[in-house]
C-alpha cells in the first residue's frame, strides 16, 4: 500500500489543476510531439485505452481521455497523464524522452509497466513533476533526472539499490516519495530544498541513521516507516521551535530516551511505534494536539502524563511497552514507581 495516500492524493489533485489550466483543443499540437506520442503508444503495445491516439487525428492536443495530453499555447505537449491501462505488458517507453517540452509526467496504476526508467528521460530538461506510482518499474532510482524537478514520486514499485547521491544536486526538489520499493543503503543528507518539504521513504530496506537536515524548519512531512533505521534522531528532529506536521518513524530500530524530548506544537501526526525507545512518555506531549499518536511496542516505562491533550489517546497508543501505567492503562503500582526512579 502507498505510504501516504492522503498526501499523494493531494499532490495528484494539484497536478491535475496545473494540467487542466493549460489549453487543450484550441491549438494544433507540435508535429514532433505528435509523432513521439504515437511512438509511445506503439511501445506500450497499442493499449485499447489509447484508441483515440490515431494518425488520422492531427491535433494530439484534442485526443480524448482516459490518457490525457495537455499542450501549451504554442502547441507543445507540456503534460501527459497515463492511468489504469489494464492489460498492458510493456517496458517504460523510451519515446517519452522525445517529449522535450514536458513539465508534468504522471503514470498511475499501470501494473504491467515494467523495467528500468530509460536514460532517454534525461532529455526532459523542463520536467518539474514526475509522478509514477503503482507500476512494476524496477532497476535503480535514476540519477539522470531533470535539474528542474520539484516533485519526484516513484512509489509502490520494484526499485532496488541505494538512493543516488545525485538527487541531492536537484536544487528545487522539495517533494520526494520513493515509498513501497526495495531500496537499500542509507539516506543521503541534503535530499530536499526550499520550503514545505516532504520526505516519504516508507516501506523500503534502508539502514543507518536519519540525516540531521530532516529536522530543518522547512520540513512538513517525514515518513520513514518500515525500514531498518537506527540511532537517535530526537535532538534535531524534535523541539518546540520546529514546524514539522507529520513524523512517522514506526517499525524501525531507533533507540533514545523520550523522557525530556520537547515535541513541536505544530505536530499533528506522530508514530514512533515498533522501535527501541525507552524512558517515560514525554510530558511535552500534553501541549501537542495530535490527530494520530502511537508509541506502542517500545521499552517505555512509568506513569503516562495527564492533562490537556493526553486524554485524546486511547490504550492502543501505548500497548506492549515495558511498564507504562496510568490512564488510559491500569493504575500505577508502587513497584512500577520504584522501578522507574532514575
**pLDDT per residue as tens digits for the range 94-149:** 999 999 999 999 999 999 999 999 999 999 999 999 999 999 999 999 999 999 99
Instruction: Give bridge partners of residue 323 from the DSSP assignment.
Output: 301
- Which pLDDT score is estimated for 26? 58
Q: Which helix (H) or strand (E) holds 337?
A: helix 334-339
Mean pLDDT value of segment 294-309: 96
Angle at alpha carbon of residue 84, lines to 121 and 139, rounded to 5°: 40
User: What pLDDT is recorded for position 119?
Assistant: 96
Q: Could you read off the pLDDT of 237-281 as tens digits, one per residue? A: 999 888 899 999 999 999 999 999 999 999 999 999 999 999 999
Query: Could you identify the residue written with the cell 482516459?
Result: 66
Domain 66-325 in CATH 3.80.10.10? The answer is yes
Cβ-in-10-Å burial (0-12, 13-18, 19+) of 139 comes to middle
- Domain range annotation of the chain: 66-325
Residue 51 pLDDT > 70: yes
Q: What is the pLDDT of residue 23?
A: 45
Angle 261-180-135 (CA atoms, 0-180°, nearest 5)?
155
Residue 335 to residue 323: CA distance in whole angstroms: 10
N-term to C-term CA, the chain: 42
pTM of the predicted structure, to 2 decimals: 0.90
Report yes or no: 336 and 302 within 8 Å, Cβ to Cβ. Answer: yes
- Give Cβ neighbours of residue 162 (< 8 Å, ≥ 6 apart): 140, 141, 183, 184, 185, 186
pLDDT given for residue 324 in this prediction: 97
Pairing of strands 68-71, 77-83: antiparallel
pLDDT at 66: 66
The region that residue 179 occupies, defined by phi over 0 for left and psi between -120 and 50 for alpha, beta otherwise, is beta
pLDDT by residue (tens digit) across 159-216?
999 999 999 999 999 999 999 999 999 999 999 998 899 999 999 999 999 999 998 8
Over residues 218-223, mean pLDDT: 94
According to the model, what pLDDT value does residue 58 have?
A: 80
| Average pLDDT of the residues of the chain | 90
- Taking each continuous run of H as one helix and of E as one strand, the counts in the chain are 4, 19
Amino acid at each position: 500500500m502507498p505510504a501516504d495516500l492522503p498526501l499523494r492524493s493531494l499532490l495528484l489533485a494539484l497536478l491535475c489543476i496545473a494540467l487542466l489550466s493549460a489549453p487543450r483543443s484550441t491549438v494544433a499540437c507540435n508535429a514532433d510531439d505528435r509523432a513521439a506520442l504515437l511512438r509511445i503508444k506503439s511501445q506500450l503495445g497499442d493499449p485499447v485505452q489509447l484508441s483515440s491516439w490515431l494518425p488520422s487525428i492531427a491535433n494530439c492536443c484534442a485526443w480524448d481521455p482516459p490518457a490525457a495530453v495537455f499542450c501549451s499555447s504554442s502547441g507543445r505537449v507540456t503534460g501527459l497523464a497515463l492511468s489504469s491501462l489494464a492489460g498492458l505488458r510493456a517496458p517504460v517507453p523510451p519515446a517519452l524522452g522525445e517529449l522535450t517540452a514536458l513539465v508534468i509526467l504522471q503514470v498511475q496504476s499501470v501494473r504491467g509497466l515494467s523495467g528500468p526508467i530509460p536514460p532517454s528521460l534525461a532529455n526532459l530538461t523542463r520536467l518539474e513533476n514526475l509522478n509514477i506510482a503503482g507500476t512494476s518499474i524496477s532497476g535503480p532510482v535514476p540519477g539522470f533526472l531533470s535539474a528542474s524537478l520539484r516533485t519526484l514520486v516513484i512509489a509502490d514499485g520494484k526499485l532496488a539499490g541505494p538512493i543516488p547521491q545525485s538527487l541531492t544536486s536537484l536544487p528545487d526538489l522539495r517533494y520526494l516519495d520513493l515509498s513501497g520499493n526495495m531500496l537499500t543503503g542509507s539516506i543521503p543528507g541534503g535530499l530536499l530544498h526550499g520550503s514545505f518539504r516532504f520526505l516519504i521513504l516508507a516501506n523500503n530496506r534502508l539502514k543507518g541513521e536519519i540525516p540531521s537536515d530532516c529536522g530543518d524548519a522547512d520540513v512538513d512531512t517525514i515518513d520513514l516507516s518500515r525500514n531498518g533505521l537506527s540511532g537517535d534522531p530526537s535532538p534535531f528532529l524534535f523541539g518546540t521551535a520546529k514546524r514539522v506536521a507529520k513524523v512517522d518513524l514506526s517499525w524501525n530500530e531507533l533507540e533514545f530516551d523520550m523522557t525530556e524530548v520537547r515535541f513541536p506544537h505544530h505536530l499533528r501526526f506522530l508514530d514512533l511505534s515498533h522501535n527501541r525507545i525507552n524512558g517515560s512518555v514525554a510530558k511535552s506531549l500534553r501541549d501537542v494536539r495530535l490527530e494520530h499518536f502511537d508509541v506502542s511496542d517500545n521499552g517505555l516505562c512509568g506513569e503516562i502524563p495527564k492533562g490537556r491533550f493526553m486524554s485524546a489517546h486511547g490504550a492502543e497508543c501505548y500497548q506492549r511497552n515495558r511498564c507504562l501505567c496510568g490512564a488510559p492503562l491500569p493504575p500505577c503500582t508502587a513497584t512500577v514507581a520504584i522501578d522507574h526512579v532514575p
